Amino acid sequence: MAALRRAGLADHDSEPGAFLGVENSARGFTWRERLGRPEANIATMIAQQHGLPEMLGRILAARGIGVDDVPVTLDPTIKALMPDPSTLVDMEKAAARIADAIQKRERVAIFGDYDVDGACSSALMRRFFIAHGQDARIYIPDRIFEGYGPNPQAIETLVKEGAKLIVTVDCGVTSFDTLELAKALGADVVVLDHHQADVRLPAVDAVVNPNRQDDLSGLGHLCAAGVTFMALVATARELRARGFYGKSQAPPDLMSLLDLVALATVADVVPLKTLNRAFVVRGLEVMRQRQNAGIRALLDAASLNQPPTPYHLGFVIGPRINAGGRIGDAALGARLLSIDDDAEAAKIAALLDKLNRERKAIETAMLEAATADADRLVDEDPDMPIVLVGSDEWHKGVVGLVASRLVERFRRPSCVIAWEKGGPGTGSLRSVAGVDIGGAVRALAAEGLLIKGGGHAMAAGLTVARDKLDAVRARFDAMLRDKASAARATTALEIDGALTPAGVSEEFIDLVEKAGPYGQGNPSPRFAFPAHRVRFAKVMGEAHIRCTLEAGDGSKLDAIAFRAVGQPVGDAIQNSNGMPLHVAGHLRRDTWGGRNRIELQIEDVAVVGKRK
């Protein structure tokens, strides 16, 4: 414990149970120590065998890192972590067909999704073709009028334009009839996807998807851009084996494209483990060189004057790219990321920045209405397994964002539907750990209750007819009630350790960052500040609360609670009246407005001594 005290850790009860005795926080959580007893010995071994501070050992062990995994975890490289692309089913077929298109200089079309992953995947593929002296047409469907994935009208257009090869990225694995139409019209098709797949696959030239049921690569955690990058590696290898590269054609610098892979990996919220961690770490190194004109323009539009981090990818750059697909031109993001013209890039980035501000306003209004509806539903049935709300007035491009906010508030899966006037509804779903929402949606689609639907365990989408809504709600209830109830009962806020402001320093933050990048599957360390008093609390903007935390020894730490006004956490902070609170959250560097300080982003608080 002496080493923990030197690191700024406070003592706490070593027996299993609630951390700091918090069984019912402001948000209704029980606080638990993330590092379990079995991992505690591993943490000590990590620290001793690798000469690391004990706190870093605890953070690594709590995230499932073994003693032998530490070197590659702290220094993840593509060389060490990326397997042979041929471990993916159909990869050799895909690489051979793409290589044929390059050698024969065929007209190629890239069909992508309208989100960040789709835009990055499309840009990766187009930049690969450009590096080989030919262009490729990117087609991104309109979210509002065409919906997700390939559609017959778009495919017919691409074939009429002369496409001999259509490569779908971040979509296509469930587009059976549409892609078979492409084949019937004379175009070959390669699918590069990562969404959950059924046993049946489209009858095309190659379907590369680590989540197809016969794929044993173990790469199901990759986003589409990660799959696309591996396809480019395989294609370059195929071209090299054919003797294509020489004096007149140099092989492409694939490592220079990792900024796009990193952006998609973070924005698509896939687990940051093994190869994905290498993609993000090395991709950020590329991004900091500001080579991609589109990313450079987005960073400038956001007035980001510091090296980009995973936070900036997920919450600064990503939302701006998504704004085009949500409420504007869905093709803007892919176009921006695949061009080298600085003037055009600046123009597109400025438009996306404007659309993002408009998106925020739409989201705020929708969230207010959706929350009111959800509050009423949960009051009527506190054990309801899924919050399902909809309106004719809502924008279908923003339903996913609102669904995520409802999950945060109600701690259960949520579905938000935007109804067309007199027509079907487009819904987006988000889930909680332990409830596979993508599987449920696919089951409902197979039963004929949905027009279409699919997705991941944590996120999905659907299209539903109005007269099927009651049946859909009933089937969700039957399928998810027990799992959702169990998930809520076991939900806890996991704490990595207890600190005081005296233990927080630049050196400590540097130490914590060594185990990053953090995100899905590698959660950012969460620390508790026991029995601290809140000083100088004030509202920032319309919904945030900024304050200072003061320990018993007089040391202080700046803190902020986002979107807390009128919420349980905000109420507890504003009404503490000098009484001590246990406060939990994430430490971060605050450089906004030229600042250079460390602050706590507050997630939860608890009254000292309150257990129930």
Return the pLDDT at 305.
Answer: 85
Tell me: do 475 and 519 sit in the same domain.
Answer: no
Structurally, how many domains does the chain consist of?
A: 3
pLDDT in tens, 439-496: 999 999 999 999 999 888 888 999 999 999 999 999 999 999 999 999 888 779 999 9
User: Token pair for residue 389?
Assistant: 């709300």
CB 215 within 8 A of CB 192: no
**520 confidence band (pLDDT: 50, 70, 90):** confident
pLDDT at 315 over 70: yes
- E strands along 373-526, which residues? 387-391, 414-419, 425-430, 452-455, 459-464, 492-495, 497-498
Tell me: do 437 and 582 sit in the same domain.
Answer: no
pTM for this entry: 0.88
In a domain, 189, yes or no: yes
In a domain, 206, yes or no: yes
| Backbone φ, ψ for residue 32 (5° rounding) | -130, 150
The proportion of the chain whose per-residue pLDDT surpasses 70, expressed as a percent, equals 96
In a domain, 74, yes or no: no
Tell me: do 85 and 19 sit in the same domain.
Answer: no
Tell me: do 551 and 416 sit in the same domain.
Answer: no
In a domain, 537, yes or no: yes
pLDDT in tens, 328-374: 899 999 999 999 999 999 999 999 999 999 999 999 999 999 999 99
> Which residue range forms the structural domain that includes residue 421?
381-491
CB 424 within 8 A of CB 416: no
Return the pLDDT at 4.
Answer: 36
| Long-range pairs for 72-81: beta carbons < 8 A, 24 or more residues apart | 73/277, 73/515, 74/514, 74/515, 76/274, 76/277, 76/278, 76/281, 76/282, 77/278, 77/282, 78/255, 78/258, 78/275, 78/278, 78/279, 78/282, 80/278, 81/274, 81/275, 81/277, 81/278
Tell me: do 454 and 551 sit in the same domain.
Answer: no
Tell me: do 196 and 290 sit in the same domain.
Answer: yes
Q: Measure the CA–CA gap between 385 and 372, rounded to whole angstroms.
A: 18
Taking CA atoms, 288 is separated from 284, 313, 350, in Å, by 6, 12, 20
Tell me: do 149 and 101 sit in the same domain.
Answer: yes
Taking CA atoms, 480 is separated from 350, 384, 472, 604, in Å, by 43, 9, 12, 27
Return the pLDDT at 16.
Answer: 54
pLDDT at 569 over 70: yes
Tell me: do 476 and 515 sit in the same domain.
Answer: no
Tell me: do 136 and 205 sit in the same domain.
Answer: yes
Tell me: do 101 and 227 sit in the same domain.
Answer: yes
The CATH number that applies at residue 178 is: 3.90.1640.30
In a domain, 40, yes or no: no
In a domain, 41, yes or no: no
The CATH number that applies at residue 428 is: 3.10.310.30
pLDDT at 11 over 60: no
Return the pLDDT at 18.
Answer: 92
- Across 556-560, average pLDDT: 96
Tell me: do 229 and 329 sit in the same domain.
Answer: yes
Tell me: do 141 and 245 sit in the same domain.
Answer: yes
In a domain, 134, yes or no: yes
Look at residues 336, 354, 372 and tell me which one is the last residue of a structural domain. Answer: 354
In a domain, 448, yes or no: yes
**64 confidence band (pLDDT: 50, 70, 90):** very high
Return the pLDDT at 8.
Answer: 38
The CATH number that applies at residue 557 is: 2.40.50.140
